C-alpha cells in the first residue's frame, strides 16, 4: 500500500498536531489501542460506530464531519438525504448554483463477489454517482 488511507492520514496528522501518542489518544477516547493501531496501519477498517468517531474527533479537536467522511460514513443527521428527495434536490441545486463546491469523487470500496449466481434485480451504482 503506497498511500495511507484518508482516515489514517487524518488521525495521525491530528495526533501529531496535538502531540498525542496512540495509547494516550485511545485512553482519552476509550478505545482499544490494538484495534486503532490496526486501523491506522490499514489492516482494519475505520470504526463504523458514530459515537466512536465523535470521541476520536473530540480528543483530536478535529472536525467530526471530516473524520466521518474519511471513514466512509455518513453522520446520522445526514441520513435523511437518502430518504428525502426534496432535501436532496435542494442540496443538488446548491451545488449546481455554485453555492457548494462539488466534492472530489470518493474512492469506491471493493466488495467480494456474491456467492449466489442469481442476478440482482437492479443495476447497482456507486452512491456518490447517484448524487452527482
pLDDT digits (tens, 9 = 90+) for 87-130: 888 878 887 887 766 555 555 444 454 454 445 444 444 444 44
Distance of CA 131 to the CA centre of its chain: 16
Q: Is the pLDDT confidence value at 61 over 60? A: yes
- Reference 77, options 54, 45, 102, 57; nearest CA is 54
Q: How confident is the model at residue 2 (pLDDT cuts 50, 70, 90)?
A: very low
> How distant, in Å, are the alpha carbons of 16, 39, 46, 76, 99 from that of 43?
21, 6, 10, 26, 38
Whether 64 and 53 have beta carbons less than 8 Å apart is answered as yes
Mean pLDDT for the stretch of residues 13-40 = 96
- Reference 19, options 72, 76, 61; nearest CA is 61
Mean pLDDT for the stretch of residues 24-53 = 95
The fold of the 6-70 domain, in CATH, is: 434 Repressor (Amino-terminal Domain) (1.10.260)
Domain ranges of the chain: 6-70, 76-106+122-131
The Cα 64–Cα 62 span in angstroms is: 6
Amino acid at each position: 500500500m503506497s498511500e495511507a488511507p484518508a482516515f489514517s492520514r487524518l488521525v495521525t496528522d491530528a495526533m501529531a498536531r496535538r502531540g498525542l501518542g496512540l495509547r494516550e489518544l485511545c485512553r482519552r477516547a476509550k478505545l482499544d489501542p490494538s484495534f486503532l493501531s490496526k486501523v491506522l496501519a490499514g489492516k482494519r477498517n475505520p470504526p463504523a460506530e458514530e459515537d466512536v468517531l465523535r470521541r476520536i474527533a473530540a480528543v483530536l479537536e478535529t472536525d467530526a464531519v471530516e473524520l466521518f467522511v474519511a471513514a466512509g460514513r455518513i453522520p446520522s443527521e445526514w441520513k435523511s438525504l437518502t430518504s428525502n428527495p426534496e432535501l436532496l434536490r435542494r442540496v443538488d441545486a446548491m451545488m449546481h448554483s455554485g453555492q457548494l463546491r462539488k466534492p472530489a469523487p470518493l474512492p469506491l470500496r471493493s466488495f467480494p463477489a456474491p456467492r449466489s449466481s442469481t442476478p440482482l434485480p437492479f443495476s447497482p451504482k456507486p452512491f456518490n454517482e447517484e448524487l452527482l
